[in-house]
Amino acid sequence: MKKTVASLLVFICLAASVFANGTKETKPVSSDTSTPVTLEWWSWDPSLKEKNEALIKQFEAKNPGIKVNLATASTSEYWTKIRILANQKKLPDVFTMSSGYIEEWRKSNLMLNLDSYINNDPDINDFYKSLIDAGKTISGGDRYVAMPFALVTTVLFYNKGMFDAAGLSYPTADWTWDDFLNAAKKLTIDKDGDGKIDQWGFWRYGRYAQVEPWVYADGGNLIDRSKMRFAPDANAMETLKFLTDLTLKYHVAPTQKEMSDVRNQDIFPKGLAAMWVDGSWFIDNNRNVADPSMRWGITTVPVGPHGQKGIVYGWPDYYAIAPNAKHPDAAWKLLKYIAGQGQTADMFMAGKIPSYKPLATSSTFNDPSKQPAEISILTQQAAQTMKTSFTMGWSEWRGYGAAANLGLNSILDSIINGDMSFDEGMSKADKNINSVLARYYN
Amino acid sequence: MRKNNRIQTTGVYALLILVALVSIFPFLWMVSSSFKSDSNVFSATPSLFSDMLFRKDMFRNYQVVLKEFQFSRYILNSLFVSLSCAIGQVLVCSLAGFAFAKMKFRGKNFVFSFLLMTMMIPVQVTIIPEYFLMMSFGWIDSFLPLIVPSFLAGAFGTFMYKEFFEVVPQPLFDAGIIDGVGAFGMFSRIYFPLTASPTVTLFIIAFMNAWNGLLRPMLYISTDKLQTVTLALTAFQSQYDTQWNLLLAGSVISILPLLILFVFCQRYIIESAMGSGVKG
Amino acid sequence: MRRRKLCWHGPLTPWLFLLPTVIGLLVFRAIPVGAAFYLGFTRWSLLNNPVFIGLRNYKEAFASATFFKVVTNTVVFSLIYVVGVMVVSLAFALLINRKLKGINFFRAALYLPVITSAVAVGIVWNWILGPQYGILNIILTKLGITPPYWLGDPRLALLSVSVVQVWKMAGYYMILFLAGLQNMPHEVLEAATVDGAKPFQKFFHVTLPLLSPTTFFVLTVAIIDSFHNFELIYTMTKGGPQNATDTLVYDVYLNGFVNYRNGYASAVAFVLLIFVGVLTLMNFYIKKKWVTQG
């Protein structure tokens, strides 16, 4: 009976796969004996597929013994698919890894220990050491498990036209919160006098890249790493209060609901707000969305009363090697190439910073003909101290991706929208977030 | 009395128009907004009339969605998946319905009640093991997980065919026996040809369910080219969540095939719903 | 020979006919339900194999405020949905149950939302309920009412989503009620009219009792249907703000495929199954007491 059922199932599968002409086999077929090593490489960026394939061709030309197969999944599906591969012990030789998951993957031993490569390969000096170390810190272990290929960081965007019109000088790295607040007040304008603000001084809501940069620039911490608890210290609380007060007390920033009809990343380039703190990767979107006549710039996030300069919120994206890779040396060669030498400036969405120094400092990457003129700030930040609040379960408690309407994100929005008081929100955050963290760390 | 009647009729019409408006207005608003330009969509004084309507580039939003965002491809995918599901359900359910209606065997009641029970179970209850199953079959990122489960366990269709076959006049059956037709011949030559009405009904329902399903495509499909139109629409929504004119054009495209089906098969769709009600 | 007369088919023939169905039932229903039961006792992030952890998932769920919220949301959603859909659809059915010119058009118009995908419905209602440029709030503002943030306010989001679901599905139940109304014995209704009963009295004392089998059927279907809210919640609120629209059905998805907690999600799935089971049993128990036999 079992056999009949099994063979019937097989039959149905076969019949159905004839129908499903879209089905494809992902298994590499390589029977050619002259190419002894075939590597699998998984990437999450479909927009780079063609460029990555060109890169492979170059790599293969330089390394005649190695053949590379590339598989690309969009970011949203990438994690589920790669988890399945991990589950089935079929991880590709080289795969993309994010700061959000690296700790969980390191704990499950799903990435090869790279210590011997990183400590001994002379080419490593071409990469920002701060990024390589940040990966080690974020993964929470005592070994290198991934090699960064790019960094994203956070900056203050500002609209130069609006600053000029208000007679204000542009923000600098020396700005204090007071300087920021004064400017924001002057930049919040009801242009047609109908009682509705048409130009806001500042835009933010509960999103991680809009909140955490302020926290770190004020010397604060959201997570107590010794106990692995969500415990915003006094500086962090001061920052969160300041950020919510921008709407509730100073009225220089809109509520989340007032802006929910416009995409978060379009509010600044569409000229609805004069200043904005968010990820540097939005430089690309600014260039696409903003009117060509709009003049804008970037600078570092204002340092808070208890903060110090030179601490930034940023995190790398990495490549990792499967723990059971059959040809680790070849995989390392490939990894080094795709993270460094093989990359070109056009493979970086404007605002992402290469971890490979020759490229990051090249004139093709820092194109002076395009806005913002201050783009070199990004590479300066790449060399600074990086702080993050990534933990296991981060996307769940922070409210990221498909959970963006939940977690801390949603609590901060509710405070800004006036649905709950600051204290109420914080005690709720304490309870909810710590119950998530307790699951992972106790 | 007569005058009274007329007033009553007018009142009924007024009410009917009101409720019909409530139910149709979102669709009108969707269609009208899909013909608007960017600036027209975000207008503080919205108008039902679209600024791009009857202009040279009135279909621009649609062109963008169909070509740049490949909705034409997704429509084809959805058609393929939904047709497969519908055909599969008709085949499998009619066979099963025939067995339940006309044959005697041990365990009949057990299997039948079990089948009916499964109607109550939301797909979310079984989705995690199902996902694992699909994973071990190597079916992830193909149409198979969208087709096969709905193909094989159609409780509603089986129930409908069973009810139908039970009331087919006995003489037809007897004639078949006299002619010495085998069990399969009895089904395929005598009974199945009579089923135009339930077959069309089931076909439409299965087609609609497959067309509108979201959870399975979301979990199983990751290759862009294989997306169904419903899935593509949600992906589009999360990427361009405020480009309402494009998003609504995509929505219109995604429901258009169903609207066409509805217009042509209204009788079947509504009567099938009525039929299921009487059985209660 | 005699045997054949008793049974016109071979003993295995029915199973041949039932083969695909039985396979489907086993592979996609029975085994997954059993597996979900087992997985509920494990921790499983997909990265490794499931690890047996006993009752930890259930303990966590029943101790967690979020899970309590999820259960409450499920009950509230179902309640609004079932009551809303029954009242509205019965009213529609009564309205539409007459021979008037163009009645078929109105019938089709009211049925239209039923056939459209929940995703498209969710998108267009998002647009209508938008806080700034949504048509509803623009109208409310013109009327001098402070417009609420329908989908972003934790107190309103669940109500908004369930009302949209009522809007979408009322047409379906309208047709069910219509069938019931049309199958009612005319003599009784006419007799009531002759006896001089007012329309109001007629409805409560004659129509409604006669309609009770249909009403029961509608109730059963509506209760089961009230768990089909994944698509709408996904497109409208993604379970937010702050879990305000997170129902059991959505929570399975959220935990399983967003947070990759497949063990816990399976436990939630099993609670959902028990929910559905208990409701269905309750339903049949009530039926015995409640339905007027015609």
Answer whether A405's CB lies under 8 Å from C241's CB: yes
Q: Using the beta-carbon criterion (under 8 Å), do B259 and C115 form an inter-chain contact?
A: yes
Buried b or exposed e, range A43-73, using 16+ CB within 10 angstroms: bbbeebeeebeebbeebeeebeebbbbbbbb
- pLDDT, residue A262, reads 83
- pLDDT, residue B152, reads 75
Q: Which chain B residues touch A76 with a CB distance below 8 Å?
A: 235
Neighbours of C101 (CB within 10 A): 8
pLDDT tens per residue across span B197-216? 889 888 888 898 899 999 99
Q: Is B55 left (phi over 0), alpha (psi -120 to 50) or beta?
A: beta
Comparing CB atoms, the residue among A13, A23, A266 nearest residue B143 is: A23
Buried b or exposed e, range B51-79, using 16+ CB within 10 angstroms: ebeeeeeeebbbebbbeebbbebbbebbb
* Rounded mean pLDDT, A314-333: 93
| Residue-level pLDDT, tens digit, chain C, 294 residues | 444 445 777 888 889 999 999 999 999 989 999 999 999 999 998 888 899 999 999 999 999 889 999 999 999 999 999 999 999 999 999 999 888 888 888 999 999 999 899 999 999 999 899 888 888 998 998 899 988 999 988 899 999 999 999 999 999 999 999 988 888 887 777 787 777 778 788 888 888 888 888 888 888 889 988 998 999 999 999 998 989 999 999 999 999 988 999 999 999 999 999 988 898 888 878 877 766 654
- pLDDT, residue B262, reads 87
How far is C48 from chain A, CA to nearest CA, in Å? 5
Answer whether C180's CB lies under 8 Å from B277's CB: yes
Is the CB of C227 inside 8 Å of chain B's CB atoms? yes
Question: E strands of A193-294, at which residues?
Answer: 200-203, 223-224, 229-230, 273-279
User: Which two structure tokens, joined as six digits, stand for C84?
Assistant: 């809303």
Residue matched to tokens 């007569």:
B2
Answer whether A345's CB lies under 8 Å from A362's CB: yes
% of chain A with per-residue pLDDT over 90: 57
- pLDDT, residue C6, reads 57
Which run of H or E residues covers position A199? Answer: none
How far is C79 from chain A, CA to nearest CA, in Å? 24
More confident residue, B59 or C165: C165
How far is B242 from chain A, CA to nearest CA, in Å? 6
* Nearest chain A residue (CA) to B240: A263
| CA separation, residue C171 to residues B2, C85, C161, C247 (Å) | 32, 9, 17, 24
* Rounded mean pLDDT, A389-402: 89
Answer whether C135's CB lies under 8 Å from B46's CB: yes
Q: Which chain C residues touch A261 with a CB distance below 8 Å?
A: 130-134
Comparing CB atoms, the residue among A20, A78, A263 nearest residue B144 is: A20
- pLDDT, residue A18, reads 38
Comparing CB atoms, the residue among C47, C149, C254 nearest residue A110 is: C47
Q: Is A140 left (phi over 0), alpha (psi -120 to 50) or beta?
A: left
Buried b or exposed e, range C224-244, using 16+ CB within 10 angstroms: bbbbbbbbbbbbbbbbbbbbb
Dist. CA B262–CA C116, nearest whole Å: 10
- pLDDT, residue A30, reads 43
How far is A80 from chain B, CA to nearest CA, in Å? 9
- pLDDT, residue A76, reads 66
Model confidence at A42: pLDDT above 90 = yes
Is the CB of A266 inside 8 Å of chain B's CB atoms? yes
How far is C203 from chain B, CA to nearest CA, in Å? 17
Dist. CA C206–CA C188, nearest whole Å: 8
What residues does A385 pair with on adjacent strands? Answer: A311
Comparing CB atoms, the residue among C23, C49, C260 nearest residue A83 is: C260
Model confidence at B1: pLDDT above 60 = no
- pLDDT, residue A21, reads 38
Dist. CA A299–CA A295, nearest whole Å: 14
How far is A406 from chain C, CA to nearest CA, in Å? 5
* Rounded mean pLDDT, A257-280: 90
Is the CB of B172 inside 8 Å of chain C's CB atoms? no
Is the CB of B270 inside 8 Å of chain C's CB atoms? yes
Model confidence at B24: pLDDT above 80 = yes
Q: How far apart are the first and last CA of chain B?
A: 38
Q: Which chain A residues touch B143 with a CB distance below 8 Å?
A: 19-20, 22-23
Is the CB of C148 inside 8 Å of chain A's CB atoms? no
Dist. CA B249–CA B35, nearest whole Å: 8
Model confidence at A35: pLDDT above 90 = no
Is the CB of C111 inside 8 Å of chain B's CB atoms? yes
Q: Are strands A311-321 and A147-159 parallel, antiparallel or unpaired?
A: antiparallel
Answer whether B226's CB lies under 8 Å from B142's CB: yes
* Rounded mean pLDDT, B68-90: 92
pLDDT tens per residue across span B223-256? 778 899 999 998 888 777 678 888 899 999 999 9
Dist. CA B232–CA B247, nearest whole Å: 11
- pLDDT, residue B190, reads 87
Neighbours of A207 (CB within 10 A): 21
Q: Band of the pLDDT at B276, cuts 50, 70, 90?
A: low
- pLDDT, residue A12, reads 45
Which run of H or E residues covers position C171? Answer: helix C157-182
Dist. CA A71–CA A67, nearest whole Å: 13
Is the CB of C230 inside 8 Å of chain B's CB atoms? yes
- pLDDT, residue C123, reads 92
* Rounded mean pLDDT, B143-168: 87
- Residue C183 burial class via C-beta count within 10 angstroms: exposed 0-12, middle 13-18, buried 19 and up: middle
- pLDDT, residue A4, reads 44
Chains that touch A (3 or more CB pairs under 8 A): B, C
Query: Average pLDDT of chain A?
Result: 87
Q: Is A88 left (phi over 0), alpha (psi -120 to 50) or beta?
A: alpha
